[in-house]
Amino acid sequence: MQIKSLLFAAFCVLTIAACKKDNDEIKGFGSIEIEFDNQAAGSALVFGKDYTNAAGESLQFTTFDYYISNIVLVTADGARFVVPQEKSYFLCKHDDADTREIKIDDVPAGDYTSIEFMVGIDSAKSVSPIGERTGVLDPAAGANGHYWSWNSGYIFVKMEGTSPVAPPDFGNIFQYHVGLFGGFDSPTLNNLKTIKLTVPDEAAEVREGKGAPHFHLFVDAMAIFSSPTNVSIAATPFSHGDAFSATLSANYVDMFMIDHVHNP
């Protein structure tokens, strides 16, 4: 019996080793970079520049920030690398370019063709004890201005700007703050969205000892205003975690795409 299982184990080891030999370079760990390159109307997003939404309204942006979390990298043959949760929370701010280039280390070598992530902060983290909320999750520091204390949770997407059609009494500003993770003990609206993107052509080649491949993502700020539902600033200038936020999150779910992958 024992000999049999030993033989079987040896066979397995040999088989695996043989397989590994087939793509002999792909082992070890490397890094990967993901850049969130904000766009509007077909070119780089610029605060203060005039844009026109699908409802025909003129607008300018002053804030465009979003949380990215729970990143998963997937290879061509479907192997999934789940980025360890504690390293998987990012707050990307348009006016702070460093926050929009994220680097993930200790990625198993391989050819990655898709990337998955959540826009927002998952429900488990959203209700976690305060001791587990550091960095961009600290409500009084990194998350200050991106956290609702009256409806405890993070503001997944924070978009603000001005428009001549927004109420003049409030300085013509519009504000779209989208959050809500589904509730703790009692249910709430859930605006958490998981995004799955596939590379347009070449895979991101993670190799040990080589530079990090770079996923260059485009994030279309204008997507929040259309598809499937056209959003009018005149009709809805403010949304702070209300029912309308479901319309906004359904619109922005397709604002991400991988423009290209750059291998070093």
Partner 1 sequence: MNKSTYLIVLFAWIFASCGEKEHDQPFAGPQLPSNFPPPVYDLSLNPVTEAGFALGKKLFYEKALSRDSTIACADCHISFSAFSHPEHPTSHGIDNLFGRRNAIAAQNLIWAKEFFWDGGVPNLDLVPLNAIQSPVEMDANPAVVLERLRQNAQYKAMFKAAFGTEEITTAHFLQSLSQFMAMLVSANSRYDKYVRGESGGDLSSDELAGLAVFKAKCASCHDTDLFTDNSFRNNGILNDFSFDRGRNEVSQLPEDVGKFRVPSLRNVTVTDPYMHNGKFKTLAMVLDHYASGVQDSPTLDPLLRQPDGTLGIPLNAQEKTELIAFLKTLDDETFLRDVRFAQ
Q: Which residues bind partner 1 (CB under 8 A)?
A: 127-131, 133-134, 138-141, 144, 147, 149-152, 180, 183-189, 241-243, 245-246
Min dist CB 234 to partner 1, Å, is: 22
Residue placing its CB nearer to partner 1 in the complex, 102 or 180: 180
Residue placing its CB nearer to partner 1 in the complex, 74 or 136: 136
Residue placing its CB nearer to partner 1 in the complex, 178 or 222: 178
Name the one residue in this structure whose structure tokens are 């700020």.
Answer: 221
CA neighbor of 143 nearest in space, from 83, 151, 106, 135? 135
Min dist CB 126 to partner 1, Å, is: 8
Element (H, E) at 239: strand 238-240
- Are 206 and 214 in contact by the 8 Å Cβ rule? The answer is no
Residue placing its CB nearer to partner 1 in the complex, 110 or 179: 179
Name the one residue in this structure whose structure tokens are 């005149």.
Answer: 234
Spell out the residues 6+ positions from residue 239 whose beta carbon is closer than 8 angstroms to its own.
175, 176, 177, 178, 245, 248
Min dist CB 146 to partner 1, Å, is: 12
Residue placing its CB nearer to partner 1 in the complex, 60 or 99: 99
Min dist CB 130 to partner 1, Å, is: 4
For 47-106, what is the HEC assignment? CCCCEECCCCCEEEEEEEEEEEEEEEEEECCCCEEECCHHHCEEEEECCEHHHHEEEEEE
- Are 169 and 78 in contact by the 8 Å Cβ rule? The answer is no
Structure tokens given for 150: 């009256």
Min dist CB 243 to partner 1, Å, is: 4
Min dist CB 228 to partner 1, Å, is: 19
Residue placing its CB nearer to partner 1 in the complex, 53 or 245: 245
